[in-house]
Amino acid sequence: MTDSEAPPAKAPEGVSGAPALPQPVLEIASGYAFTGPALDLGALLWDGRCLPDVQIRIPLPMLNRHGLVAGATGTGKTKTLQLIAEQLSAQGVPVFLADVKGDVSGISAPGQENDKVRTRAGEVRQEWTPAGFPCEFYALGGMGHGIPVRATVTSFGPVLLSKVLQLNQTQEQSLGLIFHYADQKGLELVDLKDLRAVVTFLTSDEGKSELKGIGGLSTATAGVILRSLTAFEAQGMSPFFGEPEFDTSELSRVAGDGRGTVSVLELPAVQDKPQLFSTFLMWLLADLFHDLPEVGDVDKPKLVFFFDEAHLLFNDASKAFLDAITQTVRLIRSKGVGVFFVTQTPKDVPGDVLAQLGNRVQHALRAFTPDDQKALKATVKTFPNSPYDLEEVLTALGTGEAVVTVLSEKGAPTPVAATRLRAPESLMGPVDPATLDRAVEQSPLYGRYAEAVDRESAYEKLTAREAQAAASSAPSAPSEPTSSRGRGRKGDGQDSSVVQQVVGSGVFKSLARSLGTQVGREITRSIFGTARRRR
């Protein structure tokens, strides 16, 4: 890998002793000699040696050009996220991290010096100082340690909900019609029972005509959607939908001392529900895209969003879902948001998305099986030309080492650099649950989101109107003709659920047609089908 016979070259500024280094090393060093603010990743590895004079860095303005952190289990990806998040926070950039395994909360506490930390710091010439960083901890639906994060069904939208419910393309399109109808009629879907009510109505005798002009909703498809909702609720998923809905602008907060807030979404309580949490991460990103203003190229990102376990997002995704991801990633850069996908191999990320990830930190890969060897060769092909034998290097990297290439200050790819990464300065492990709970309860956001609110929405309004009409109207009374029609519609004598009674009556039809459509006009949907009324 070395070129010991290469003639000495003039050293780039700041690389002491570099004339004694081979030409490829000097070229790599020159490629990372940035003049502006940057994040320090570590020191160059070459021919089995760590060269602390050659520092590998990422220019701060290039962090909104997105990135990939990849590598096999146990190779140090989580510590790399922690290292990058610390430095972003220190430079005033807010960070979002998804904590799937429950070991990222330590970023809020100072690290503990030990022999391993001292050795690593000495190898890469790092002035290691223990430090904790300002954090907010969140939990989906309040399941786990954290401030509850909820979304209304209306804002979550049909594309993401179809992914969660594992609907096929036809069912997804039908769900889109249901949302379109609710939007147009001003029927906000706050929780799952609101959606169930609208689905049932649109397949009733009264409601079938409502969608007739735009394709209609078949009874079979509606049945699949309703059954999927039932199974979803049976798994305890209902708490994730409702109010108060999380305001994603909270993720862009800066602490009083000027450091960026690190928002940690605690996921251990739902790690067995990958479809749910990966899709909720996409909702957060899509909602940010929907709400943030255009800022163009900025000196530093407004937010850097780390999308952990990214392969779960793309598994079994529909074409509409993949197209929406691609477009969101492509366009959110101009809103000052950088997105890093975290997964095992680059092949986990679709090519159209991977092509937009300008910064790469690739930890070690394994090559124990033919599939592993195929993935290794595919990964090597995604890197620029390199003086390294990358197939050999990627299988020989130790924990806390990675192959790096980023975008320079001019937007060009830097040379590929095998790197020994720095040690995080915060605690490399979880804080204890009692400390975590205290941090959550002391947060100024806790009172805003802690308690779920079940305000009056479509289902409650319909139930109340039906009860009032049944109690106060005589059959001959002409004052409430829509209620009279509703009472006479069913003649089979069979019991039905409250929802079926409500949506099967003329009251629902009357209400749906008489509700002002001003609310519906205020609902605008993004490229991902998500919606948010302006705050």
User: Can you give the pLDDT at residue 187?
Assistant: 80
What is the average per-residue pLDDT within 10-19? Answer: 45
| Statement: residue 359 has pLDDT above 70 | yes
User: Can you give the pLDDT at residue 482?
Assistant: 41
| Statement: residue 50 has pLDDT above 90 | yes
User: Can you give the pLDDT at residue 321?
Assistant: 82
Q: Are strands 135-140 and 95-99 parallel, antiparallel or unpaired?
A: unpaired
125-158 pLDDT, tens digit each:
999 999 999 999 999 998 889 999 999 999 999 9
User: Can you give the pLDDT at residue 146?
Assistant: 95
Read off the DSSP letter of residue 416: P
Rounded to whole angstroms, how far apart are CA atoms 529 and 32? 40
Share of the chain above pLDDT 90, in %: 57
User: Can you give the pLDDT at residue 522?
Assistant: 46
Q: Which residues contact 122 (CB under 8 A, 6 or more apart)?
A: none
- Distances 153 to 109, 182, 457, 514 between C-alpha atoms, Å: 36, 11, 12, 22
Peptide bond into 268 cis (omega under 30): no
Q: How confident is the model at residue 242 (pLDDT cuts 50, 70, 90)?
A: very high
The token pair at 32 is 């990372």
Q: How confident is the model at residue 71 (pLDDT cuts 50, 70, 90)?
A: very high
Rounded to whole angstroms, how far apart are CA atoms 326 and 347? 15
Identify the top-confidence range among 284-288, 388-392, 454-458: 388-392
What is the average per-residue pLDDT within 264-269? Answer: 90
| Statement: residue 247 has pLDDT above 50 | yes
User: Can you give the pLDDT at residue 108?
Assistant: 97
Q: Which residues contact 227 (CB under 8 A, 6 or more apart)?
A: none
- Distances 353 to 133, 304, 330 between C-alpha atoms, Å: 31, 17, 8
337-358 pLDDT, tens digit each:
999 999 988 989 999 999 999 9
What is the average per-residue pLDDT within 304-316? Answer: 87
80-111 pLDDT, tens digit each:
999 999 999 999 999 999 988 888 999 999 99
Q: What is the dihedral of CA 504, 509, 515, 519, to 10 degrees?
A: 70
Phi, psi at 169, each rounded to 5°: -60, -45
Read off the DSSP letter of residue 211: G
| Statement: residue 36 has pLDDT above 90 | yes
Q: How confident is the model at residue 19 (pLDDT cuts 50, 70, 90)?
A: low
SS3 486: helix
The token pair at 90 is 């220190």
User: Can you give the pLDDT at residue 210?
Assistant: 81
**What pTM does this model have?**
0.84
Q: How confident is the model at residue 14 (pLDDT cuts 50, 70, 90)?
A: very low
Single-letter amino acid code for the residue at 450: A
| Statement: residue 513 has pLDDT above 80 | no
Q: How confident is the model at residue 524 (pLDDT cuts 50, 70, 90)?
A: low
Q: How confident is the model at residue 38 (pLDDT cuts 50, 70, 90)?
A: very high
Give which of 242, 332, 316, 304 is closest to 279, Cα–Cα: 316
Rounded to whole angstroms, how far apart are CA atoms 444 and 455? 23
Single-letter amino acid code for the residue at 366: R
User: Can you give the pLDDT at residue 490?
Assistant: 38
User: Can you give the pLDDT at residue 480?
Assistant: 45
158-195 pLDDT, tens digit each:
989 998 999 998 999 999 999 988 888 878 899 999 99
User: Can you give the pLDDT at residue 296?
Assistant: 82
User: Can you give the pLDDT at residue 188?
Assistant: 83
> Which of the two residues, 216 and 528, has the higher pLDDT score?
216
398-448 pLDDT, tens digit each:
999 999 999 999 999 999 999 999 999 999 999 999 999 999 999 999 999
| Statement: residue 507 has pLDDT above 60 | no
Q: Are 408 and 27 in contact (CB under 8 A)?
A: no
